[in-house]
Amino acid sequence: MAKRISQIIETQVWQWEQQPAAAHAPLPHSQQPMITISSAYGAMGADIGRMVAGQLGFDLFDRELVDRIAESAKVRHQVVASLDERQQDLITEYLTGQFSKEIFSSSDYLRHLCRIILTIGLHGRSVIIGLGSQLILNPGKTLRVRTIAELETRVDRIARQQALSPKDAHAEVLRRDADRHAFLRMHFNRDVADPLLYDLVINTTACHLEQAATVVRHAFETRFGVVRLVTR
């Protein structure tokens, strides 16, 4: 797994080096337009994000990938090194002013996570799944999406996907939901289900994934236009 993550990041960094991050304006103004997707477990947010990224030609950073980058010093260095020194300084300045010292002093992981997500934001053209990215990136430059679905629908999906009994699937959905609530509460003191944290909330009980992806893409293009590669 670690080797696969490293290979993905090496490829990603190479792509970033071909199209360097734009702007030296102070963060958060220098961020490029982005999409974040937060999802109730079983509401198919990652699947929708994958479709949207494909439709827009964006990179996809799922929960596991971002988490591994934040935890691995070697891989983290590769990603941050894709920015020049001034851009790295801008991230440091922004983090210092945006989040209290008390939060970061209790969590080196959170500091690393924020640095990685902000780095991705400077490069732009990406969809990030979960991990509080909707609270870290500039809301003026980010389409923040939340996917939800009825509990029964989510339990049925997880039971089929993971070959679990209905009882076990129900327990797994509740456990994963609780983990995601706890993550945002512990690190950001926010409720992941608060609709005011999002620009768009989609109930995947009531629509097909292809329809949901089209809605997200249309909302992004309506707000930001067609995002083109940055050139210098």
Q: What is the pLDDT of residues 19-37, one digit of tens each?
A: 767 656 666 678 889 999 9
3-9: average pLDDT? 76
- Residue 47: φ, ψ to 5°: -65, -40
Confidence band for 108, pLDDT divided at 50, 70 and 90: confident
d(CA 8, CA 153): 33
| Contact partners, residue 135, CB within 8 Å, separation at least 6 | 184, 188, 190, 197
What's the pLDDT at 4?
75
d(CA 180, CA 39): 9
Q: Where are the beta strands (DSSP E) in 122-225?
A: 126-129, 142-148, 200-203
What's the pLDDT at 31?
87
Percent of the chain scoring above 70 in pLDDT: 88
Domain coordinates in residue numbering, the chain: 32-224
pTM confidence score = 0.87
Give tens-digit pLDDT for 194-217.
999 999 999 999 899 999 999 999
Poorest-pLDDT segment among 8-22, 70-84, 156-170: 8-22
What's the pLDDT at 25?
63
Q: Is the confidence at residue 49, as pLDDT, over 90? A: yes
Q: Is the confidence at residue 50, as pLDDT, over 70? A: yes
Confidence band for 231, pLDDT divided at 50, 70 and 90: very low
Q: Is the confidence at residue 114, as pLDDT, over 70? A: yes
Q: Is the confidence at residue 42, as pLDDT, over 90? A: yes
d(CA 26, CA 219): 26
d(CA 230, CA 18): 10
Q: Is the confidence at residue 102, as pLDDT, over 60? A: no
What's the pLDDT at 232?
41
Whole-number average pLDDT of the chain: 87
Q: What is the CATH number of domain 32-224?
A: 3.40.50.300
Give tens-digit pLDDT for 128-158.
999 999 999 999 999 999 999 999 999 999 9
Confidence band for 175, pLDDT divided at 50, 70 and 90: very high
Percent of the chain scoring above 90 in pLDDT: 56
d(CA 14, CA 169): 40
